[in-house]
Amino acid sequence: MSALTIDGSTRLYGIVGDPISQVKTPQLMNAYFQQQGINAVCVPLQVATATFEASLRGIMALGNIAGLVITVPHKIRACALADALSAQARQVGAVNVLRRDAQGAWFGDMFDGAGLVAGLRDNGFTLKGQHVKQLGAGGSGAAVAFALLAAGAASLTLYDPNGEAAQALAARINAQYPQRPARVSTVPAELQGINLLINCSPIGMKPDDGLPAPFADFDPALQVVDIIMQPPETPLIAHARRAGCRATNGRPMIEGQLTAFLRFFDLYAEASPCRH
């Protein structure tokens, strides 16, 4: 394994978020670069919401920035900075990766949903036929919702404090999946008839957040996913594990996306995928 070095020819990849301290993508990508002897580095970039567009335009103008990973809370706003979008990104209305082509144009795609589905399947979660309650209808939430239904979920109930966002996402889903409708809930903790609970909101990221809803004790048969990466055990995951539920944080989503990221950035070596 070659040492990771940085010089004037190093290709730069950034991951953009606010906050940024919780991200794990740099560790995974930099381990892969070192393993494969690729002269590239992935660095975390703290970009405030108030200065997002100006900051991103400046970063994207740098000549040795080859690509960007976009995380909370910028995935929807990043769409407007892309010159072209994949069909998946257009469907979801958000991106989590941007790459620059040889002509200098930026192309955006979204892998959150597909990555989570792949990661959950690898970790023994059942998706087909499940009745899902999802908290959060932002960029990641939209990607996850479409991917779950594509994977065969039987129904989807959405909750978001921004009721308009939840209603808009449900309308887009129902236009594509009229036989497996999404509905909007006004009671975040209601779980009657639910097999799979997914938190796609940021609640649980801060030390004093607590649970994303006032949940009672969970049925041990409930599957629980919190896509937050840091802390590794959010209040929701701790609550689920105490009840004996199958539960996971967001690591399967990140690991499920790594190969897609590397292929998107034209960095994937077929013989040596990097999974940590």
The CATH number that applies at residue 127 is 3.40.50.720
Pairwise pLDDT comparison (208 vs 269), residue with the higher score? 208
Model confidence at 128: pLDDT above 90: yes
Q: Is residue 91 part of a domain?
A: yes
What CA–CA distance (Å, rounded) separates 82 from 90?
11
The predicted model gives 101-110 an average pLDDT of: 94
What CA–CA distance (Å, rounded) separates 147 from 115?
9
Mean pLDDT for all residues in the chain: 93
pLDDT band at 241 (very low <50, low <70, confident <90, very high): very high
Query: According to the model, what pLDDT value does residue 215 have?
Result: 98
State yes or no: is 128 an active-site residue.
no
pTM of the model: 0.87
Query: According to the model, what pLDDT value does residue 82 have?
Result: 97
pLDDT band at 275 (very low <50, low <70, confident <90, very high): very low
Q: Is there a single domain that holds both residue 45 and residue 172?
A: no
Query: According to the model, what pLDDT value does residue 20 have?
Result: 94
The Cβ of residue 269 has, within 10 Å, a number of other Cβ atoms equal to 13
Extract the tokens encoding 21.
């301290």
Predicted confidence (pLDDT) per residue in 36-59, tens digit? 999 999 999 999 999 999 999 999
Query: According to the model, what pLDDT value does residue 2 have?
Result: 63
Query: According to the model, what pLDDT value does residue 126 have?
Result: 95
What CA–CA distance (Å, rounded) separates 233 from 249?
7
**Structural domain harbouring 239:** 113-253
Task: Out of 75, 128, 133, 206, pick the active-site residue.
Answer: 75
Extract the tokens encoding 155.
């129904």
Query: According to the model, what pLDDT value does residue 38 have?
Result: 93
DSSP state of 172: H
Q: Is there a single domain that holds both residue 92 and residue 136?
A: no
Residue 91: how many CA atoms within 13 Å on its side-chain side?
A: 21
The predicted model gives 96-113 an average pLDDT of: 95
Model confidence at 274: pLDDT above 60: no
Model confidence at 268: pLDDT above 90: no
Q: Is there a single domain that holds both residue 172 and residue 150?
A: yes
Q: Are strands 106-109 and 97-100 parallel, antiparallel or unpaired?
A: antiparallel
CATH of the domain at 98: 3.40.50.10860
